[in-house]
Amino acid sequence: MKITPATVAEEHERLSARDSIPELVNETRDRLGPLFGVEVAHVTVEQYRAEVDSVFADGDRAVNVAALCGLLRDLDCPGDYPGFVVDEFLGRKLAATIAGGEPFALLAEATFHFADVHTHGGPDDPAGADDLDAALAAGFQTRLPGWEWTEGASPFDPEQ
């Protein structure tokens, strides 16, 4: 795999065009909300695209996101199971990288596993394809607004 500024720009465009990812974000939020007894706002395609732009505006983050997406997109293993550990590892890392620093990175990793259980590729898709989609949904749903507890000052803020 060779990552260049051009391949990073291509991945930016590819992710911006993935209108299915906001749908996965919203499906994930619809499943998570009741588990925590909260309603979580849906995201729009426009919000998703703006957040993709934000992720790719940080060159260091952009190159890592592009590389992880490329690896997952091409990862395949006959029968899938032998590749299970690596696609889970890469998916978790992609979700965390998109989400940003702690504690959001950890939340995105946990959400990746939850989203992955509900995300399935087609019979002709490589093994990593569904993990790529689950990671994008987990990472972006963690970064995007909609969770009430993230939309205000922390109750642990020493300045309060």
pLDDT tens column, 67-92: 999 998 888 777 656 656 788 899 99
This model's pTM is above 0.75: yes
Right CATH number for 5-146 from 3.10.450, 1.10.3760, 1.10.10, 1.10.287? 1.10.3760
| Average pLDDT of the residues of the chain | 89
Give the pLDDT confidence score for residue 116 in this predicted structure: 84
Q: How many CB atoms lie within 10 A of CB 5?
A: 11
Give the pLDDT confidence score for residue 159 in this predicted structure: 79
pLDDT tens column, 102-113: 899 999 999 998
pLDDT tens column, 112-159: 989 988 877 666 766 667 889 999 999 999 998 887 777 777 778 787
CA dihedral 4, 8, 10, 15 (to 10 degrees): 160
Give the DSSP letter of residue 156. Answer: T
Give the pLDDT confidence score for residue 88 in this predicted structure: 87
Q: How far is the C-alpha of 41 from the C-alpha of 95, rounded, in Å?
A: 19
Q: How far is the C-alpha of 135 from the C-alpha of 95, rounded, in Å?
A: 5
For residue 160, pLDDT over 80 is answered with no
Give the pLDDT confidence score for residue 28 in this predicted structure: 95
Question: What's the distance, Cα to Cα, between the start and end of the chain in Å?
Answer: 49
